[in-house]
């Protein structure tokens, strides 16, 4: 009996320990995990429990479990060299294209920059405010390729630890992203933000006015392809070290105004034109540009768009109280006091075309062409068809008379008509033909008629007989 009692006591003790151990384990071993189930990726803190993670409150998050371990700097991958990231390092990367929603349930530190990289079908992230990013120095490529994500509010993030490369490609190729709040960020240590918003083609506005870019140097392709971006606010910037605007705003075709007065580019060597190459390429709506005397275009390769020569615009950029310039001429100005200021498209009252001199050249029309060449000048300055005017023709083939109507467009208005007449075509001779004869070179000047019928043969014989009798008489 005593032996049996001892055995029972031991078993009871073991059972009590077994019941208590999970609680001890939870308190001591709880750590962050990622759990995937049916399109949902959940980040939570707890311990493994069967097919899932048991949280401190006793709830269980079921699904495929992935550990969150700090990897460190994400290596450059062969397919993403330009962005300097390789998303495949994350333990849950094998479900990256299946995730449609992310939920962060418990506060936890952000350990690496590739957490959400290439989540192509991700549409929603809940709980981003629970991520502690204060110790993370690199956000490179964090949301790279999230092409279905529509909104992000990261305004509460503590970014003071970001290092010199910390923002490269962070939101690159987020093509569906419409709203993004990154206001209040501390980027005082960041030197390179290249490709940060590359391809954010749905983003409509972006407020960066609160940033302090004291060390920011490389802005290459930072906003390239942001074709819906209408407002980009740099108004509070003091950026004394900007060294590259390579394709920075290229493709921002909806952007109407830019204030770059806080950009100091005096440190760029004058002969390194590639550092501003195509900075404003395809910014077709850009009608206002504010720059200081510290700004540098370096060359016409900066590709500032030409002002339109239509809809009341003159085709020139003008500064208030200053001379107007074409885009190319403006980019070639070297006197800082001359190019500093706010430049806008010049407007003016359209000039009437009724006083223009219209010259109609019909010399090439004798071959049946009824569209004679037209030249239009005002005060001896030639206008350009398609830019300054259009031409319409009417023609009466019986009288050989027609009318040219010139209609002003762009900076010109009204219309003017001129009549013309096409002369009858005169017989033409081949080159080298004697005008006094109707022969071709190399032919007998008086060739024998070539009989074409029996009657013509008889007539030819008769003429020869007449000539023969005349010669003997």
What integer pLDDT is reported at residue 113 of this predicted model? Answer: 87
Considering only residues 33 and 461, tell me which one the structure prediction assigns the higher pLDDT. Answer: 33
What integer pLDDT is reported at residue 108 of this predicted model? Answer: 96
Q: Of 439, 459, 443, whose CA–CA distance to 451 is shortest?
A: 459
R_g (Cα) of the chain, nearest Å: 40
Residue with tokens 């008509």: 417
Considering only residues 306 and 386, tell me which one the structure prediction assigns the higher pLDDT. Answer: 306
What integer pLDDT is reported at residue 433 of this predicted model? Answer: 45
Tens of pLDDT, residues 71-107: 765 544 444 445 556 677 889 999 999 999 999 999 9
Percent share of the chain, pLDDT over 90: 57
Q: Which CA distances in Å does 198 have to 122, 227, 252?
A: 18, 10, 11
Tens of pLDDT, residues 172-201: 999 999 999 999 999 999 999 999 999 999
Report phi then psi at 387, rounded to 5.
-105, -45
The lowest-confidence range among 40-49, 325-334, 374-383 is 374-383
Q: Residue 61 forms beta bridges with which residues?
A: 53
Tally of CB atoms within 10 A around 144 = 27
Residue 23 pLDDT class (50, 70, 90 cuts): very low
Residue 373 pLDDT greater than 50, yes or no:
yes
393-422 average pLDDT score: 85
40-55 average pLDDT score: 95
Residue 1 pLDDT greater than 80, yes or no:
no
What integer pLDDT is reported at residue 441 of this predicted model? Answer: 41
What integer pLDDT is reported at residue 399 of this predicted model? Answer: 83
DSSP string, 398-447: TTTEEEEEEEE-TTEESEEEEEEEPPPPPP---TT--TTS---TTS-SSP
Considering only residues 114 and 116, tell me which one the structure prediction assigns the higher pLDDT. Answer: 116
The lowest-confidence range among 9-23, 270-284, 290-304 is 9-23
Residue 20 pLDDT greater than 50, yes or no:
no
220-247 average pLDDT score: 96
Task: Tell me the three state secondary structure of residue 6.
Answer: helix
104-133 average pLDDT score: 95
Residue 359 pLDDT greater than 60, yes or no:
yes
What integer pLDDT is reported at residue 194 of this predicted model? Answer: 93
Task: Look at strands 373-378 and 131-132 and give their pairing.
Answer: unpaired
Task: Tell me the three state secondary structure of residue 86.
Answer: coil
What integer pLDDT is reported at residue 323 of this predicted model? Answer: 80
Secondary-structure breakdown of the chain: helix, strand, coil percentages, each rounded to the nearest 5: 15, 25, 60
Q: What is the mean pLDDT of the chain?
A: 84
What integer pLDDT is reported at residue 443 of this predicted model? Answer: 42
Considering only residues 12 and 394, tell me which one the structure prediction assigns the higher pLDDT. Answer: 394
CA dist., res. 384 & res. 166, Å (int): 51
Percent share of the chain, pLDDT over 70: 79
2-24 average pLDDT score: 51
The lowest-confidence range among 73-87, 152-166, 257-271, 403-417 is 73-87
Residue 25 pLDDT class (50, 70, 90 cuts): very low
Q: Residue 101 forms beta bridges with which residues?
A: 40, 124
Spell 296-309 as b/e; 16+ CB within 10 A means b. Answer: bbbbeebbbbebbb
Q: Of 189, 85, 220, whose CA–CA distance to 142 is shortest?
A: 85
41-66 average pLDDT score: 95
CA 21 to the chain's CA centroid? 60
Q: Of 403, 356, 396, 363, whose CA–CA distance to 380 is shortest?
A: 356
DSSP 8-state secondary structure symbol assigned to residue 33: E
Residue with tokens 């384990």: 25
For the chain, how many helices (H) and strands (E)? 4, 26
What integer pLDDT is reported at residue 472 of this predicted model? Answer: 57
Considering only residues 95 and 467, tell me which one the structure prediction assigns the higher pLDDT. Answer: 95
Considering only residues 7 and 304, tell me which one the structure prediction assigns the higher pLDDT. Answer: 304
With beta carbons less than 8 A apart as the criterion, state whether 411 and 350 touch. Answer: yes
Tens of pLDDT, residues 207-217: 999 999 999 99
Considering only residues 436 and 14, tell me which one the structure prediction assigns the higher pLDDT. Answer: 14
CA dist., res. 196 & res. 212, Å (int): 16
Tens of pLDDT, residues 426-466: 554 444 444 444 434 444 444 444 445 555 655 666 566 55
With beta carbons less than 8 A apart as the criterion, state whether 41 and 62 touch. Answer: no
Tens of pLDDT, residues 236-248: 899 999 999 999 9
What integer pLDDT is reported at residue 91 of this predicted model? Answer: 92
What integer pLDDT is reported at residue 13 of this predicted model? Answer: 55
């Amino acid at each position: 009996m005593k032996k049996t009692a001892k055995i029972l006591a031991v078993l009871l003790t073991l059972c009590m320990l077994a019941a208590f151990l999970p609680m001890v384990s939870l308190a001591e071993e709880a750590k962050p995990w990622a759990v995937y189930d049916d399109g949902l990726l959940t980040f939570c803190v707890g311990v493994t429990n069967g097919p899932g993670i048991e949280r401190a409150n006793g709830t269980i998050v079921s699904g495929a479990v992935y550990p969150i371990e700090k990897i460190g700097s994400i290596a450059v991958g062969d397919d993403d060299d330009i962005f300097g990231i390789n998303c495949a390092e994350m333990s849950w990367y094998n479900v990256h294209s299946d995730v449609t929603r992310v939920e962060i349930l418990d506060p936890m530190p952000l350990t690496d920059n590739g957490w959400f990289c290439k989540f192509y079908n991700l549409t929603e992230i809940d709980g981003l405010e629970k991520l502690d990013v204060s110790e993370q120095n690199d956000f490179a490529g964090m949301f790279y390729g999230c092409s279905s994500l529509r909104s992000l509010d990261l305004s509460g993030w503590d970014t003071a630890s970001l290092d010199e490369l910390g923002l490269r490609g962070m939101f690159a190729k987020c093509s569906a992203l419409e709203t993004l709040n990154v206001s209040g960020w501390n980027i005082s240590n960041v030197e390179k933000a290249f490709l940060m918003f590359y391809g954010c083609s749905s983003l409509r506005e972006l407020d960066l006015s609160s940033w302090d870019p004291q060390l920011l140097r490389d802005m290459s392709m930072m906003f390239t392809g942001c074709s819906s971006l209408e407002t980009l606010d740099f108004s509070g910037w003091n950026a004394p070290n900007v060294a590259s605007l390579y394709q920075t705003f290229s493709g921002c075709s909806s952007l109407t105004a830019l204030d770059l007065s806080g950009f100091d580019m005096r440190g760029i060597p004058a002969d390194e034109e590639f550092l501003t190459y195509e900075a404003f390429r395809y910014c077709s709506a850009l009608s206002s540009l504010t720059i200081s005397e510290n700004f540098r275009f370096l060359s016409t390769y900066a590709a500032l768009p030409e002002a339109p020569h239509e809809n009341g615009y003159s085709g020139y950029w003008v500064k208030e109280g200053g001379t107007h310039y074409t885009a190319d001429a403006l980019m070639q100005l070297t006197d800082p006091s001359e190019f500093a200021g706010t430049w806008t498209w010049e407007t003016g009252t359209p000039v009437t075309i009724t006083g223009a001199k219209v010259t109609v050249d019909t010399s090439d029309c004798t071959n049946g062409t009824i569209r004679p060449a037209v030249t239009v000048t005002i005060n001896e300055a030639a206008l350009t068809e398609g830019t300054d005017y259009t031409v319409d023709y009417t023609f009466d083939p019986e009288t050989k008379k027609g009318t040219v109507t010139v209609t002003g467009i762009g900076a010109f208005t009204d219309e003017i008509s001129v009549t013309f007449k096409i002369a009858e075509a005169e017989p033409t001779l081949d080159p080298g033909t004697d005008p006094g004869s109707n022969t071709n070179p190399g032919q007998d000047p008086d060739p024998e008629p070539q009989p074409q019928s029996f009657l013509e043969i008889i007539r030819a014989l008769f003429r020869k007989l007449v000539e023969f009798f005349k010669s003997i008489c």
